[in-house]
Amino acid sequence: MLLKDKVAIVTGGGQGIGEGIVNCFAREGAKIVVVTRSEKSSRPVADRVNANGGTAVWFAADVTKPEDVTAMVDFAVKTYGRLDIACNNAGRLGNPRNVAELPAEELDEVMDLDLRGTFLCCREEIQAMRKTGGGAIVNISSVSGLHGNVGLSSYNLAKHAVLGLTRAAALEEIANNIRINAVCPGAIMTPLQEEFKKNDPIGFEETLRKSNIPVGRMGTPEEVGNVVAFLCSDMASYMVGSAVVVDGGVMAQ
């Protein structure tokens, strides 16, 4: 087991990629705090982990609120005694808009969760990890943090900035034995995509074909979770400030 008895936080762990990360952390022996904005969305994931022989608790926090983020980290430390690893995954896409048509308020909304929320989490997690001699943090960016997409301007801005945050914090904290890296997923199958596939199978296949993914399919949340678990483990001891692409070959083209 890569993460035996490590204490972990996963934000946005209620579904999709976050749930895949929780499942991989559990398989590798971590004790997990599953975080979403409500008990309704976080509890079922924690319950499933416990039912399968793992160890997890749920916590409701809005990661855009500094007081909630402080409470989230305090809860992890109070519950399990320390914080060893964290994956800051909560994020959103925003409305499809080109830069020329992007209302500043819509940019603020996406930046608030994708960048500022990730920053607030990093800040509190670092403080807790410094107290116990180190740890590992993974921020979820996207391939949209590495290249541009027509019509995804706010998301492109926020996810590029997450990589800047990751690199700056990684350089600052390696002296404190805290490794900070980012993962850049490509197209991953989440409940939203499952719904799209069920309701419009032809449209789904057409979108998939246009996405031009070399492996010919979307990725699974667990395929992202496996990489996050590796980056949080001692196996990745020489990885600092990396942006690891998990995209079925899209960025290799």
* Interacting span for ligand NAD (CB under 6 A) from 32-40, 97-105, 209-217, 236-244: 32-40
What is the bridge-based pairing of β-strands 55-60 and 7-11? unpaired
91 counts as binding ligand NAD under rule CB under 6 A: yes
By beta-carbon proximity to ligand NAD, the closer residue of 131 and 147 is 147
Least distance in Å: CB of 224 to ligand NAD? 8
Closest CA to 88 of 133, 140, 125, 45: 140
What are the strands, taking DSSP E only, across 74-223?
85-88, 135-140, 178-185
Residue among 90, 115, 169, 229 that touches ligand NAD (CB under 6 A): 90
Cα–Cα distance for residue pair 20/228, rounded to 1 Å:
10
Active-site residue (options: 58, 59, 80, 155): 155
By beta-carbon proximity to ligand NAD, the closer residue of 177 and 211 is 211
41 counts as binding ligand NAD under rule CB under 6 A: yes
Positive or negative CA dihedral for 7, 44, 220, 144? negative
Q: Is 155 among the residues known to form the active site? A: yes
185 counts as binding ligand NAD under rule CB under 6 A: yes
Q: What are the two backbone dihedrals, phi and then psi, of residue 137, each rounded to the nearest 5 degrees?
A: -125, 140
Cα–Cα distance for residue pair 130/172, rounded to 1 Å:
12
Residues annotated as catalytic (active site), given as ranges:
155
Binding site for ligand NAD (CB under 6 A): 11-12, 14-18, 35-37, 41, 62-64, 89-91, 113, 117, 140, 142, 185, 187-188, 190-191
